[in-house]
Amino acid sequence: MKTERNKIPDLSLDLIKRATAGEEEALLVLLRRYDADITRWATIEENDSEGRSIKRLDEDLKAEIQERYIRAIRNWRELI
């Protein structure tokens, strides 16, 4: 069960249509699919006390990117 949940989901036309219609479950699947891309942009590089570069995830940034991405998914309807 855990394995299924953590697999990167595949795209299908049905999934895209449900997501563009605003179905919550489909949107969650898409967010899971592009989680790595979103996290990459929500990661901030900082220097620690010893001057070493560290990467930290900023949840606020991640949430904002996710929110805007959900809004952008709905625009896809016009392109089909």
Partner 1 sequence: MAVYPFIFEIQLYIFRFWDAAAIYIGKGGDEEKRLSLIAYEGGDDMPTPKSREQELCEMFDSYSRRTILNLGMYVRRKYFTHKNRFTATDPQILDETEGVDETYPSNSFVVFADELYCELNHEFLYNAFNAMPVNQRKVLILDYWHHWKDKQIANYLEVTVRTVYNLRQRAYRTILLYENRKEQDT
CA distance 26 to 23: 6
Decide if residue 29 touches partner 1 (CB under 8 A): no
Decide if residue 80 touches partner 1 (CB under 8 A): yes
Residue number, 25 or 60, with CB nearest to partner 1: 60
**Among 3, 21, 23, 19, residue whose Cα is nearest residue 11:** 19
- Please, which residues have CB within 8 angstroms of residue 23's CB and are 6 or more apart in sequence? none
Q: Which residues bind partner 1 (CB under 8 A)?
A: 2-3, 6-7, 11-13, 16, 30, 33-34, 36-43, 48, 54-61, 64-65, 68-69, 72-73, 76, 79-80
